């Protein structure tokens, strides 16, 4: 009886496979756009990813291949051994927090690996990119609406309803500073920088992938415009870095072949119009802030790059404080890895990024910059970035390549 029900379900899946495929892709794309939404102890990303993986399990499409086990188990085993060692060495080591963090890490590793295999085997790279861009455009539209509502409320004490869109995240965080009531776009994220992080992740794969997959110029222009409107210093810097890397990679292609098509004019014009109308805000939040950072008036850059390493000392240099045991808030992934996991794991992490450079140097460089943009290696946005990197970094990202039953390499 059970076997018959399973067969019927699998037959239903095969008959409606395109619909199921797009449902999973949509769920994955929207889940990471809701990474700052909390429901109890879980983010919406974790809840929706759980639903997506359940669909893959029921459809018999969740796979982890034998040759991938070393990549799946390696971080889990390393951190498990590391945590057990510190538990036996330090009396104040919180084993409960470390176990919860380890379970969460296992969930994300299994999710990323399973989704990677699903997208590769079903050849859904282009469809996944399209869904991510469609969701990003929706998030941008919501961002413009919320920013307008906050602006009207701030300046005219009346505005459009928007609180319901931020029910599961924070209502504040729109303004540049309390004494300078400039409204920054953060859409449904907690902070403008988080929106910028999300948009930059998608812009990165649009412009720097090696799959010959391209998005419309106007879509990239909207993503760039969205990053600018966050007025987030780190986000705009990373966006400009992505554009610079894209120009370098395509220099030979553009050399002597640059054509100003109508779409190119419209795309460039859109960005220039936004820059023109918001030039004073851009100057205050980006140009003036650059001057403040250089002169030492603004210390956020110093805190992100220097102060984040403050907990590293000779006692914790090799072993760290333990997984998710940092004494305080840090502002970049590198500092988190070194502070909590010690020198050896930090070296392995840097080595893995160096390995990525064999496949796609521009994406590896952007990944490094993104590591400084936001802390928290158990955050949903960080694992979304990893998923995009391993899918779009090269035609064949060898550590995660997929083989058929005969052991032959499948097309990427």
The per-residue pLDDT for 11 is 65
- Alpha helix ranges (H) inside 210-261: 217-230, 233-249, 251-254
The per-residue pLDDT for 407 is 44
125-156 vs 380-392: helix crossing angle, rounded to 10: 140
The per-residue pLDDT for 253 is 63
Contacts of 60 (CB under 8 A, 6+ apart): 10, 13
The per-residue pLDDT for 174 is 79
For the chain, the distance separating the N- and C-terminal CA atoms, rounded to the nearest angstrom, is 38
Cα 143 → chain centroid: 18
Q: For 267-294, what is each residue's pLDDT tens digit? A: 777 778 877 777 777 777 777 777 776 6
Contacts of 192 (CB under 8 A, 6+ apart): 173, 174, 184, 185, 186, 230, 231, 232, 235
The per-residue pLDDT for 412 is 38
Q: For 139-165, what is each residue's pLDDT tens digit? A: 999 999 999 998 888 877 777 898 889
Q: Cα–Cα distance between 67 and 61 in angstroms, integer?
A: 17
Cα torsion through 372, 373, 375, 378, rounded to 10: -110
The per-residue pLDDT for 129 is 94
Backbone torsion region of residue 323, taken as left when φ is above 0, otherwise alpha when ψ lies between -120 and 50, otherwise beta: beta
Q: Cα–Cα distance between 48 and 30 in angstroms, integer?
A: 8
Given a cut of 50, is residue 48 above it in pLDDT?
A: yes
Given a cut of 70, is residue 402 above it in pLDDT?
A: no
The per-residue pLDDT for 198 is 96
pLDDT-wise least confident of 1-5, 180-184, 296-300: 1-5
- Name the average pLDDT for the chain: 84
Q: Which two tokens stand for residue 3?
A: 């076997």
pLDDT-wise least confident of 180-189, 239-248, 302-311, 375-384: 302-311
Averaged pLDDT for residues 354-371? 91
Q: Cα–Cα distance between 182 and 284 in angstroms, integer?
A: 9
Torsion sign across C-alpha atoms 387, 339, 242, 289:
positive
Q: Do 245 and 365 contact (CB within 8 A), yes or no?
A: yes
Given a cut of 50, is residue 410 above it in pLDDT?
A: no
pLDDT cut 70: percent of the chain above it: 84
pTM score, whole prediction? 0.87
Q: Which two tokens stand for residue 288?
A: 């003036």
Given a cut of 90, is residue 117 above it in pLDDT?
A: yes
Q: Which two tokens stand for residue 299?
A: 């210390």
Q: Cα–Cα distance between 129 and 127 in angstroms, integer?
A: 5
The per-residue pLDDT for 140 is 96
Given a cut of 90, is residue 69 above it in pLDDT?
A: no
pLDDT band at 81 (very low <50, low <70, confident <90, very high): very high
Contacts of 327 (CB under 8 A, 6+ apart): 311, 321
Q: Cα–Cα distance between 302 and 238 in angstroms, integer?
A: 17
Q: What angle do CA 355, 339, 232 make, to 5 degrees?
A: 75
Averaged pLDDT for residues 393-402? 58
Backbone torsion region of residue 322, taken as left when φ is above 0, otherwise alpha when ψ lies between -120 and 50, otherwise beta: left
Given a cut of 50, is residue 134 above it in pLDDT?
A: yes
Provide the β-strand partners of residue 39: 42
The per-residue pLDDT for 411 is 41
Given a cut of 80, is residue 316 above it in pLDDT?
A: yes
pLDDT band at 319 (very low <50, low <70, confident <90, very high): confident
């Amino acid at each position: 009886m059970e076997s018959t029900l399973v067969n019927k379900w699998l037959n239903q899946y095969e008959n409606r496979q395109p619909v199921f495929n797009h449902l999973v892709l949509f769920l994955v794309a929207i889940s990471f756009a809701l990474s700052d939404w909390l429901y109890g102890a879980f983010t919406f990303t974790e809840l929706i990813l759980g639903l997506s993986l359940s669909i893959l399990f029921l459809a018999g499409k969740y796979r982890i291949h034998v040759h991938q086990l070393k990549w799946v188990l390696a971080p889990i085993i390393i951190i498990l051994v590391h945590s057990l060692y510190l538990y036996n060495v330090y009396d104040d080591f919180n084993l409960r927090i470390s176990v919860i963090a380890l379970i969460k890490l296992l969930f994300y590793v299994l999710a990323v690996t399973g989704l990677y295999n699903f997208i590769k085997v079903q050849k859904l790279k282009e469809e996944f990119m399209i869904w991510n861009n469609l969701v990003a455009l929706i998030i941008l539209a919501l961002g413009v609406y919320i920013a307008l509502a906050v602006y009207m409320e701030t300046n005219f004490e009346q505005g459009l309803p928007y609180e319901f869109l931020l029910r599961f995240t924070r209502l504040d965080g729109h303004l540049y500073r309390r004494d300078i009531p400039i409204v920054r776009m953060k859409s449904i994220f907690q902070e403008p920088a988080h929106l910028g992080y999300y948009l930059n992740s998608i812009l990165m794969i649009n412009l720097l992938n090696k799959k010959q997959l391209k998005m419309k110029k106007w879509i990239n222009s909207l993503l760039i415009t969205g990053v600018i409107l966050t007025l987030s210093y780190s986000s705009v810097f990373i966006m400009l870095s992505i554009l610079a890397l894209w120009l370098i990679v395509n220099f030979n292609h553009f050399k002597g072949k640059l054509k100003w098509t109508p779409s190119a004019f419209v795309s460039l014009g859109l960005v220039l119009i936004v820059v023109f109308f918001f030039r004073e805000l851009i100057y205050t939040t980006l140009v003036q802030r650059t001057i403040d950072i250089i002169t030492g008036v603004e210390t956020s850059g110093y805190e992100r790059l220097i102060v984040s390493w403050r907990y590293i000392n000779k006692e914790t240099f090799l072993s760290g404080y333990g997984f998710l045991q940092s004494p305080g808030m840090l502002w970049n992934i590198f500092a988190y890895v070194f502070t909590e996991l010690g020198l050896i794991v930090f070296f392995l992490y840097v080595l893995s990024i160096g390995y990525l450079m064999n496949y796609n140097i521009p994406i590896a460089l952007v990944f490094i910059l993104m590591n400084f943009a936001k802390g928290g290696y158990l955050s949903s946005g960080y694992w979304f970035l990893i998923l995009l990197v391993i899918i779009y970094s090269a035609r064949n990202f060898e550590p995660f390549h997929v083989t058929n039953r005969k052991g032959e390499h499948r097309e990427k």
